[in-house]
């Protein structure tokens, strides 16, 4: 039996169990899941198993609609399926984004195309400017360090003609308050201001671990720096598309605390309950391109930091020109190199 056919058969059996109201997760299946992701719960095993069981049902129900052509994206169980991420982000939601008084203006090159002149999408991965997908860990809110280092290395690569992967760990350890490492996370603009002053380390010299350590950094070892950064107009998806197309990748923040996002596996993500105000923003990611699907319409192509087993090899497509879906255009920023 082919792997595709086996998956379809397993999916049908899962749907039958859901419809009959039967228990989805056996003791053996729960043990296999924990072993796969190296999870061990001494006191709260039943709590996490309950979350996992609900996600199994949710994913099965959603994918039934997906295979019927009623949904534009597929979901899949993953390392987050037994976790309530809102617990980790509850304190972050109380932190107000810093004011961005140091933002510059968009500097348009002579061949800059306006939105109505752009006839096709773009994928900056095809130019060799995007490094491999990283893994921030399930309990470290370091997404801001990944998106910051990712967008800086991309613009330096575009300028210098050579990609040098930069270190999220350096930023995690050294970027000062109001950024707060793993526990409460941070903001891209604060990381930009740090790199402008002190430079940044290569990924090879600062390997990633999902924890904040003491900062040990000598600016003399910097692999690059920036002159400043630009924050785009809030909520303007056309300007965001222009900048991505003409200038390069852009770091954005989104509202990601939804099962549809956490369990995303592929397709064009569209979440009707997503928020789009600055107070809703919980997760920093990197827009590396955009395009249009013949059935499901316009989308953003975005690099995440959940590892390559999540989503489309670590990437996701988010509905574009869909009323600023999940706040993708609420706080877009890129460095000046």
**pLDDT tens digit string along 263-310?**
999 999 999 999 999 989 999 999 999 999 999 999 999 999 999 999
CA-based nearest residue to 141, from 263, 37, 283: 283
> What amino acid positions are annotated as catalytic residues?
143, 283, 304
pLDDT above 60 for 2: no
pTM: 0.90
Angle of CA points 197, 203, 208, to nearest 5°: 105
**pLDDT tens digit sequence for 149-159:** 999 999 999 99
**pLDDT tens digit sequence for 5-52:** 544 544 454 445 444 444 578 999 999 999 999 999 988 999 999 999
pLDDT of res. 101 = 66
Of the three residues 38, 71, 104, the one that is the final residue of a domain is: 71
pLDDT above 50 for 226: yes
pLDDT of res. 6 = 46
Confidence class of residue 243 from pLDDT cuts 50, 70 and 90?
A: very high
**Same domain, yes or no, for 29 and 143?**
no
Tell me the helix, strand and coil percentages in the chain, rounded to 5. 35, 15, 45
Paired with 122 in beta bridges are 290
pLDDT of res. 103 = 77
- Tell how far CA 325 is from the center of its chain: 14
Backbone angles phi, psi at 237, to 5 degrees: -70, -30
Paired with 302 in beta bridges are 287, 316
Mean pLDDT of 77-94: 82
Cα distances from 101 to residues 105, 132, 210, 230, in angstroms, run 12, 32, 31, 10
7 or 240, which is more confident? 240
The DSSP secondary-structure symbol of 211 reads S
What would the two tokens of residue 254 be? Answer: 């989104």
**Same domain, yes or no, for 112 and 58?**
no
In a domain, 93, yes or no: yes
Beta-carbon contacts of residue 136 (< 8 Å; ≥ 6 apart) = 142, 143, 145, 146, 168, 210, 305, 306
Paired with 254 in beta bridges are 283
Of the three residues 71, 102, 130, the one that is the final residue of a domain is: 71
pLDDT of res. 95 = 64
Residues 151 and 193: their CA atoms lie apart, in Å, by 14
Q: How many domains does the chain contain in total?
A: 2
Of the three residues 19, 39, 71, the one that is the final residue of a domain is: 71
**Same domain, yes or no, for 158 and 284?**
yes
Mean pLDDT of 232-236: 96
Residues 157 and 335: their CA atoms lie apart, in Å, by 12
**Same domain, yes or no, for 15 and 132?**
no
CA-based nearest residue to 211, from 142, 298, 288, 307: 142
**Same domain, yes or no, for 10 and 143?**
no
pLDDT of res. 14 = 46
Range of the domain at 190: 87-336
Residues 256 and 318: their CA atoms lie apart, in Å, by 11
pLDDT above 90 for 94: no
**Same domain, yes or no, for 253 and 205?**
yes
pLDDT of res. 18 = 43
């Amino acid at each position: 039996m082919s792997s595709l056919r086996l998956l379809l058969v397993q999916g049908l059996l899962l749907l039958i169990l859901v419809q009959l109201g039967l228990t989805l997760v056996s003791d053996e299946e729960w043990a296999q899941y924990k072993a796969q992701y190296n999870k061990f719960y001494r006191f709260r095993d039943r709590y996490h198993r309950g979350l996992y069981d609900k996600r199994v049902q949710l994913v099965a129900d959603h994918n039934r609609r997906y295979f019927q052509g009623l949904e534009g994206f597929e979901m899949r169980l993953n390392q987050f399926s037994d976790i309530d991420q809102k617990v980790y982000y509850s304190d972050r939601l109380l932190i107000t984004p810093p004011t961005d008084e140091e933002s510059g203006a968009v500097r348009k090159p002579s061949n800059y195309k306006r939105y109505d002149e752009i006839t096709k999408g773009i994928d900056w991965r095809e130019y060799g400017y995007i490094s491999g997908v990283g893994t921030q860990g399930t309990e470290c809110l370091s997404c801001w360090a990944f998106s910051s280092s990712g967008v800086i290395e991309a613009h330096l690569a575009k300028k210098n003609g050579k990609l040098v992967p930069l270190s999220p760990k350096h930023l995690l350890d050294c970027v000062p308050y109001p950024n707060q490492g793993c526990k409460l996370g941070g903001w891209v603009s604060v990381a930009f201001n740090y790199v402008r002053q002190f430079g940044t380390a290569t990924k090879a010299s600062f390997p990633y671990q999902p924890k904040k350590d003491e900062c040990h950094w000598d600016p003399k070892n910097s692999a690059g720096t920036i002159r400043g950064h630009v924050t785009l107009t809030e909520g303007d998806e056309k300007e965001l598309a222009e900048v991505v197309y003409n200038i390069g990748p852009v770091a954005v923040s989104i509202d990601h605390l939804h099962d549809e996002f956490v369990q995303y596996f592929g397709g064009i993500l569209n979440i009707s309950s997503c928020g789009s105000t600055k107070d809703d923003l919980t997760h920093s990611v990197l827009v590396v391109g955009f395009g249009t699907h013949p059935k499901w319409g316009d989308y953003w192509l975005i690099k995440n930091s959940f590892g390559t087993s999540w989503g489309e090899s670590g990437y996701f497509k988010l509905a574009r020109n869909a009323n600023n879906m999940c706040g993708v255009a609420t706080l877009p920023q890129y460095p000046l190199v």
